[in-house]
Amino acid sequence: MRPTFALALGLTLSVGALSGPLAPVVHAAGASDTDQERAQRWQEIAKSIFGDRKIEPTDTLVKIEAPKRAEDAALVPITLSMPDRGTVKSVSLVIDDNPAPYAAKFEFGPAADTSELKLRVRVNNYTDMHAVVETNDGKLYEAKQFVKASGGCSAPMGMSDEEAMKGMGDMRMKFADAQAGKPVEATLMIRHPNFSGMQMNQVTREFTPARYIEKVTVSAGDEKVFTMTGDISIASNPVINFGFKPDGKPIQVAASDNQGGHWARSFNPPSPTN
């Protein structure tokens, strides 16, 4: 356990200079931490993000589904279920022991169907994950899930930086079959390496600077579905599954990264079948 602890510490220090839109909290964490240590860390993180606002536990407003033990620490699929449609204003995903724990925040608009949201993240250490929803009446609720994985933020991409950046900003969207009057499930894919700043360049032997998707806004016609604020914990080539209420107008996607990259695309959802 100790060597892993030391390694995690080293990585944490190496990204101390990182700054993202979601303020990183830097601390050392280990796989062997007690529940109490984890709980205390979460309190610190929660305070840095939500201030002194009270966060109540919930079993119903949000649920996190994640593999108990990740197959690939650099691509851990997460499902956030928020079945009470229309009550959730935003959801924040926090990976407590990642170097930048605040992984993503989704702010929903009127065209959103929040019942199921999927994304892929990096996990750097055995960690608690927290999902915090803010309801429309301004209250905060949290759910927790423990995940075993390590090295996800620093795992090399297995290709050159140039290769990893090929087609950066390309987007695709897939739609599930639409039924009249029902929300539609869609999958947004964005080509982007989402460099974490912790991966070593193969040629220069220096850390590739963090370059990650910072903001993604998805709208159905004039109505917002969601805005995602992201950080280095999002896996490369981000894929987001979400639900929306179709009104026949195209889906607009705008994405930008922390180095000034900006991309936009429009997709035509399928016409509803009766």
Partner 1 sequence: MAAEAVRPVGRMLAGSRTVSRRHALFGGLCLCCLATAGLSPRAYAESFTMEEAGPGIFIRKGLIADADAENLDAIANIGFIIGKSGVLVTESGGSLADGQWLRGEIAKRTDKPITHVVLTHVHPDHAFGAGAFVADKPVFVGHAKLREALDARGEFYRKRLADLFGEEKTGPVVYPTMSIADTGQIDLGDRTLTFTAHGPAHTTSDLSMRDSASGLLFPADLLFVERIPSLDGSLKGWLKELERVKASGATQAVPGHGPVRVDLAPAMADLTAYLIALRDGTKAAIAKDVSIDKAVDTVAQDQKDKWKLFEHYNRRNVTVAYQELEWD
Residues that bind partner 1 (CB under 8 A): 1-4, 7, 31, 65, 67, 69-73, 75, 77, 79, 118, 120, 125-126, 148-151, 154-160, 172, 174, 176, 185, 187, 189, 191, 200, 202-203, 205, 237, 239, 241
| Least distance in angstroms from the C-beta of 233 to partner 1 | 15
| Least distance in angstroms from the C-beta of 21 to partner 1 | 26
When the beta carbons of 187 and 217 are compared against partner 1, the nearer one is 187
The DSSP secondary-structure symbol of 139 reads -
Distance between CA 250 and CA 205 in Å, rounded?
Answer: 44
When the beta carbons of 139 and 148 are compared against partner 1, the nearer one is 148
User: In the numeric block, which tokens belong to residue 200?
Assistant: 């070593």
When the beta carbons of 75 and 225 are compared against partner 1, the nearer one is 75
| Least distance in angstroms from the C-beta of 165 to partner 1 | 14
When the beta carbons of 47 and 172 are compared against partner 1, the nearer one is 172
Structural contact between residues 90 and 105, judged by C-beta atoms closer than 8 angstroms: yes
| Least distance in angstroms from the C-beta of 33 to partner 1 | 11
Spell out the residues 6+ positions from residue 204 whose beta carbon is closer than 8 angstroms to its own.
Answer: none
When the beta carbons of 126 and 141 are compared against partner 1, the nearer one is 126
| Least distance in angstroms from the C-beta of 157 to partner 1 | 8
Only one residue has tokens 């536990």, namely: 57
Strand residues in the chain grouped as ranges (E) = 55-57, 63-65, 76-81, 88-95, 102-108, 112-121, 127-135, 140-147, 171-175, 184-190, 213-220, 223-230, 239-244, 251-257, 262-267
Strand residues in 221-259 grouped as ranges (E) = 223-230, 239-244, 251-257
